[in-house]
A and B are shown apart, each in its own frame.
Chain A
């Protein structure tokens, strides 16, 4: 789930930080630059672990800042394919589930990775709110929002930053029904994790906590 990653970066340290010890100044600048950011193919940067070497300190013409070449180690969050993690269901819609870890929320479970025979149906006990239900041989297993859920990583993507805004389909009538579509456009996510819960032992923790029927069935399934 977490890795150490060694990185080399040419870092500009502004003169306003001259009064600090150099390592503190560099660490502060690195944290400003990397913390809580996703680096493509590396993952979400969590923390600066240590600074290995600092080189240079060159001042370019017409710039007041010193430029250092820094080699440092970051703690990054990068789940590996096949890893099992526990998170919380954040929302569910007809496209599947979205899971949150608190610090990372772009984990999606698409419909085809839910247990087979899952249905998106209204919940009579909760004012007809829609939720996913896994129909296990007649036993309905619900997935509620805010359920704790165990899932396995299926794939990780690092989409490129979109250069252009998606074009509006019909520019001749800009006033009609446009805003609605725009609201539904999802915010750009630099790291998208796709997860599956279609396996014995995966899914909401309440399915497997040994409270009876469901687990016995699962064992029967394992044997077959």
Chain B
């Protein structure tokens, strides 16, 4: 084996996910049929939890275009696309010597975070604001509980009928 080119180009999470989808990876239970290796499914499952799950090529191109004014390194742009940070404190560790480059007052950081939130769609599993997240969780649990209550008596009655 000979490595001709160790780095023939970096890929965003979205591109890897897109490639796996094009191979036939999907969430449905007929996984055995697709020509996708079990190890590839592990990556598919991981990427589906990340913000890459509903990004589009157009959104990424738009972001790269709009991020030019912030003078970011390529690695930083890639990292922001992969993580979709929507708060300044999430962007802070990604950008090297952030204070010096983005200004101390945090206004540009705020702006960048807002832009990221606008350009990339919200992943289904990760609501935009904290309030929405908490509300979502509560309603979910209530629905689940309600569902359980409804289901259980029905099951018992059906077994009675069979007996």
> Which of A's residues lie within 8 Å of B, judged by CB?
1-10, 31, 35-36, 39, 41-42, 46-47, 49, 71, 73, 75, 77, 80, 82-86, 101-103, 150, 152, 199-202, 208-211, 215, 218-219, 222-223
Contacts and interface: CB of A to CB of B under 8 A. Distances in A.
Given A75-B16, A103-B43, A223 B11 contact: no
A5 B11 CA distance: 11
Given A35-B40, A201-B92, A3 B130 contact: no
A9 to B, nearest CB: 5
A6 B5 contact: yes
B89 A201 contact: yes
B3 to A, nearest CB: 6
A49 B130 CA distance: 39
26 contacts: A2-B13, A2-B15, A3-B7, A6-B8, A7-B2, A8-B2, A9-B1, A35-B37, A35-B40, A39-B3, A42-B6, A46-B40, A47-B23, A49-B19, A75-B11, A82-B75, A84-B79, A103-B39, A150-B93, A152-B93, A200-B93, A201-B90, A210-B87, A218-B89, A219-B106, A222-B99
Contacts of A31: 37
Chain B interface size band reads: 35 or more
Contacts of A2: 10-13, 15-16
B20 A1 contact: no
B136 to A, nearest CB: 14
A1 B13 contact: yes
Contacts of B122: none
Contacts of A77: 43
B42 interface: yes
Given A10-B1, A42-B3, 12 more contacts: A1-B11, A3-B11, A6-B3, A6-B8, A9-B1, A9-B2, A41-B6, A47-B37, A73-B8, A208-B87, A219-B89, A222-B92
Nearest to B2: A8
B82 interface: yes
Contacts of B96: 82
A114 to B, nearest CB: 15
Interface of B: 1-13, 15-16, 19-20, 23, 37, 39-40, 42-43, 45-46, 50, 75, 78-79, 82-83, 87, 89-94, 96, 99, 104, 106, 130
Nearest to A72: B4
Contact of B9 (A4, A47, A152): A4
B81 to A, nearest CB: 10
A3 B8 contact: yes
A36 B38 CA distance: 9
Contacts of A3: 6-11
Given A9-B2, A80-B75, A215 B8 contact: no
Contacts of B11: 1-4, 75
Contacts of B40: 35, 46-47
Nearest to B131: A210
Nearest to B36: A47
A161 B19 CA distance: 32
A200 B5 contact: no
A41 to B, nearest CB: 7
Contact of B45 (A75, A85, A102): A102
B43 A1 contact: no
B163 to A, nearest CB: 42
Contacts of B12: 2
B37 A215 contact: no
A103 B75 CA distance: 22
